[in-house]
Amino acid sequence: MEIEFLGSGGAITIPRPLCNCKVCLEARDKGVPYSRMGPSIFVHGPNLLIDTPEDIYHQINRSSIDEVKGIIYSHWHPDHVMGRRIIETLSADWTNHPPQNKKIDIYLPEQVEKDFKTFLGSGDHLDFFETQGFANLNKLKDGESFSLNGTKISPFRLAEDYVYAFMLESENKKVLIAMDELNNWKPDRMVLYVDLAILPVGIFEFHPLTGERLMSKDHPVFNEEATFTETIDVVKILKAKKVLLTHIEEPNGLSFSEFKELETKLKDSGLNVEFAHDTQIVRV
């Protein structure tokens, strides 16, 4: 398997439009790896696309992808789903009559399928794609797995139980991918000692290099989001061979260079942790 980070940002990408902070100015000037588009990952081998943020068109155009066999969604939040028209763009045949559409397989874990019927019109939109012949919708009950090109993909709920992470298994390799929302999650034995774990970085309550407080301790976001410190606690429990952290938001206020410095600090403490960047490819 090869993991390609199409977008390593979060709901607020880098550079943030009209923002003139040092992080956004540098990203605007230098581009990748300082800039970060919305959260999306592609897994080569099964050729599986995970989540479709608004800028998925640009992400795929600059990627090394040559075929998408399936698309799976981790949860309903807009930064993970609002580029879903890519399904039509990849599949629809507008030239031939009758059309020769490709029909991409879309995989919807149980709660994701339910939430898509409620939020943002996602369910209606995907139903339309299916009736138009652009997609096959595959609804997965909790505990169900599926296979693509010899890779087993097993969705499972996190503690925030509307969100799913994924275990991918192929050729005696295991990869854990959690796109977002680690709040209150306690890993069980199924996910320990994987070859690669991909996790959201979390909220920076303190600057990880200087110790400066970045957010007030009574900020309501801490009721819903894991902090970076809590993410590192999860990393220690997982004992994965390698960890990549993603979903890096502009409000965290750290530049690419500072994340590289933080990598060194973490590795000196015995943690094999890196911070993902857009277009990065990791072989497992």
DSSP 110-159: HHHHHHHTTSTTHHHHHHHHHHTTSEEEEEE-TT--EEETTEEEEEEE-S
pLDDT in tens, 175-199: 999 999 999 999 999 999 999 999 9
Burial class (CB in 10 A: 0-12, 13-18, 19+), 57: middle
Residue 73 to residue 236: CA distance in whole angstroms: 27
pLDDT band at 6, cuts 50/70/90? very high
Residues paired with residue 147 on neighbouring β-strands, in sequence order: 152
pTM to 2 decimal places = 0.96
Higher-pLDDT residue of 75 and 217 is 75
pLDDT at res. 167:
98
Q: What is the pLDDT of residue 227?
A: 95
Left (φ > 0), alpha (ψ -120 to 50) or beta: where does 185 sit? beta
Computed over every residue of the chain, the mean pLDDT equals 96
Burial of 18-55, coded b for 16+ CB within 10 Å and e otherwise, reads eeeeebbebbbeeeebbbbbbbbbbbbbbbbbbbbbbb
Taking the C-alpha atoms of residue 258 and residue 144, their distance in angstroms, rounded to an integer, is 40
- Using a pLDDT cut of 70, give the percent of the chain over it: 100
Q: Region 60-68: what's the mean pLDDT? A: 96
Question: Residue 252: what pLDDT?
Answer: 87
Helix (H) / strand (E) element for 109: namely strand 104-109
pLDDT for position 71: 98
Condensed to tens digits (0 to 9), the pLDDT of residues 209-259 reads: 999 998 898 999 888 899 999 999 999 999 999 999 999 999 888 999 999
Mention the CATH class of domain 2-283.
Answer: alpha beta
Average pLDDT of span 79-91: 97
Q: Where are the domains of the chain?
A: 2-283
For residue 190, the model assigns a pLDDT of 92
